[in-house]
Structures are given as C-alpha cells and as structure tokens.
Amino acid sequence: MAIEIPSPPKVGMVSLGCPKALVDSERILTRLRADGYTMSPDYAGADVVLVNTCGFLDSAKEESLAAIGEAIAENGRVIVTGCMGNEADVIRARFPDVLAVTGAHQYEAVVEAVHDAAPPELSPYVDLIPQIYDEAGVKLTPRHYSYLKISEGCNHACSFCIIPSLRGKLASRRIDAVLREAEKLVQAGTRELLVISQDTSAYGVDVRHETRTWKDREVRTHMTDLARELGQLKDAQGRAPWVRLHYVYPYPHVDAVIPLMAEGLITPYLDIPFQHAAPSVLKSMKRPANEAKVLDRLHKWREICPDIAIRSSFVVGFPGETEEDFQYLLDWLDEAQLDRVGAFRFEPVEGASANHLPNPVPEEVKEERYARIMEKTAAISAAKLQAKIGRVIPVIIDEVGEPDEDGEIGATARSQADAPEIDGNVFLRNVGDVQVGDIIDVLVEDADEHDLYGALTQG
C-alpha cells in the first residue's frame, strides 16, 4: 500500500514598507520554509496569510490597515506583524478576527503564531533531516540583487520619527555573520548588494566596534571595514558584485569610504538622509548631523571620486519652516548638485514630538513648496544626465523585453547611480542575448529628467 505523504501547509505574505521590512519578510519565510511550509502566491491557496505592516507615517498605517482588511476579506485567517504590530489594540479594534499580532522583527513570535494557526504536517518520510535556516533563504527580490541588513534599530531621537519606539535602539549584527550572509548571496547569483539599516554609519557603535575573525584576519564591526570586505567578494566566475550603501549619515568617518569607491571596491553611490539644510529646521528636527561643512565635503568627495552619485530625501513643510528656510534649502541644493532627490510633505506621525511644535505649515503651502523642490531637483537631474550623453558606463540588467516586429530586443537597466525602485533607469535598445543580472558597458545616447537611453558598445 502506498504511503500518503501529507501536503505541507501554505503561507501567503503581504510585505509593506521599506527594504528593511522586506528583509524581515524574507527571514520569516525562510524560517517557515525550513519548518515545512510552502508559499502561496495568492489568498485562495493560503492556509494562513501574514501581513508585514509599516507604521512610520499615518498614511502608511492606513495602507497597512487596508492590506489587513483585504487579507481578512479574501482569506479570513490573518496574522499581523511588523512596525504597526506595536499598535495591536488599534488593529484588533478594526479587525477583531485577526489570529495574532506581533511587533517588528519578532521572528520567533510570528513563527509560533503560524504554527498555532496552521500546524506543520511533519512526515518521517520527508522530514528526517531538519533544514538549516540561514543556508538558503527565501528571497522576495529578483535573484540578481539582494538587501543586506546590517543592524536593527536607531539611537537617534529625530522629532518627526518614531522608529526607535518601533524597532528599538541600535543593535548591530556581528560583522562575520553579515559577511558570511553576503558571501552566500554572491555565490547564489547576487550581482548587487544593497546595504541597509536605520543608520549605516553607526554600524558597530553599540558593540564598541568589536573585532571578529573573518577569512583568518581580524575585522572591526565598522562601516569602513565592512565596505572594504564586501568589496573583495567574488562569485564563482571571479566577478565582484556592486556594493551600494544606503542610509549613510554624513559622520566624519564616511570620508574614509570615498577612496574605496575611487578604487572600484564599492559602488560610487551614497544614500544620505539630509532631510533639510536650514539650520533652524534641522535643530527643530533634532537631526544628528547638520549642514555645516557638508558642502565642502561633497566637493572633496567628488575630487576623490568624480563619478560618485549622491541621493537624498528632504521634508518640506516641517512645523516652523519659513519661506526663508525653504529658500535656504533650494539655494543649498543649487550648490550641492545632488544626483538623486526625493521629497516628502511633512506628515504628523502619532507619537512623534514634532506634532507638538508651533507654527504648522498650511497644507497649500506644503504643496506649493513640494512642487518647487521637485522642479528644482528635476532640473539638476536633467542637467547631470545630459552630461552623460556620449559616455560609456556600466549598467546592470533588470529586465529583458520581447523581440519587436524587427526582431530587436530592448532591456531595462540601471547605472551605478541608480538604486532599484527609487532611482532612474537606463533603457537600452537592441541588446541581443543579454541576461537579467548581467553587468555590461553601454553607450549613453540620450537622457531626460530622470532616465538614460542607450545601446551596447560595439566590439
């Protein structure tokens, strides 16, 4: 008589918020897969649905609540985790039928809740050897790029932010564990590593930059040591991945990373959350670094590494921001000439001290300032991209299209100045047989405000 092997329970996942939350989702799914679960691509096939929420802004909370509502309506068996999990009473008041609510990066609690909701069907015929959780993780990003989270939490007390209350104080991962994970990702096909945290520059501060042994040598738990080691990784073909640094506060030791970019060890790109430039606004924001000497440092960085791309984000309409403050920011942007810029209208967040600051900016003024800053930064971006026409630059292929009526195949790629999802693209014509994840040289033929257009180099 044939032995009937039980079908494993299926888990669906809705992941909202930032790349750090996406990494949390990958870790949860990796653990569940090791416990015998399979993944469901839709609500209908799932025995239980996980919703990984974002709770940074009130608008993000509403999006999270809407996602929970959709999962309840489509499936009915829902577990909530993530940053909004800290507001379990709000979630349960709206959706009393949720099975469980856990907070950010509470992996064990999430897994236990899934076990309770849909117990794993273990079989002595297929589950004799337990899987090791960190050997082959579930990825929610394309195979050719991966987010590498180096720490949790944040030590800052910015007045508009509630991240420390959601994710706690800075907790750096062991540098040898981070490097081991990065090496496995590269060996598994990752061509681009995106280093993320709440404050990448502060990596290792909480452990006093302790040293660990990696590849028979001592390395410090420090951003510069990490960047240098990541830049030496190679895949089986001897190819080095791009290494892109995100959420880098401009502390003095960041200067030591720029020569690594000039040497080609890491990607010449820095994501720096400036948020504003006017001293009075920065003071009200309680930012850990101000604009003093930043412009001088930007100029020096570009002298060392002319191809460096700087991206940042700014908040307009912060309480107390005057027209003079906003004009100061626009003038600062003229001088800084940042390559990539995102802007956000100030939005009160429940629990943030900025909500109680005097002189709130009217909504119509926020909108007007938002339009002006986007116009300013688009013009800067357009000029910078125009200057690249005629140059040969490396790009990474994100997507390859289908042949057109003439048999030509186009592709969507990114330059070293473009992080996935948030920056621009390089649109290529007639690429032939390139594959997703290939890093190739292309000739830039045209540009607009945010994107480049080009073709493969001849020869």
**Positions at the binding site for [4Fe-4S] cluster:** 18, 54, 83, 154, 158, 161
Label each residue of 9-76 as H, E or C.
CEEEEEECCCHHHHHHHHHHHHHHHHCCCEECCCCCCCCEEEEEECCCCHHHHHHHHHHHHHHHHHCC
For 442, the token pair is 């292309």
How many Cβ atoms from other residues are within 10 Å of residue 132's Cβ?
Answer: 8
Handedness of CA 229, 232, 236, 240 (dihedral sign): positive
Q: Are 244 and 289 a contacting pair, CB within 8 Å?
A: no
Cα torsion 144, 147, 148, 149 to 10°: value is -170
Q: Are 353 and 323 a contacting pair, CB within 8 Å?
A: no
Handedness of CA 411, 412, 415, 420 (dihedral sign): negative
3-state secondary structure of 324: helix
Taking alpha carbons only, the member of 255, 260, 222 closest to residue 242 is: 260
Q: Are 67 and 14 a contacting pair, CB within 8 Å?
A: yes
- Residues near 41 by beta carbon (within 8 Å), at least 6 away in sequence: 12
Question: Binding site, residues?
Answer: 18, 54, 83, 154, 158, 161
Residue with tokens 């720029």: 258
For 407-433, b/e burial (b = at least 16 CB within 10 A) is eebbbbbbbbbbbbeebbbbbbbebee
3-state secondary structure of 393: strand
How many Cβ atoms from other residues are within 10 Å of residue 441's Cβ?
Answer: 11
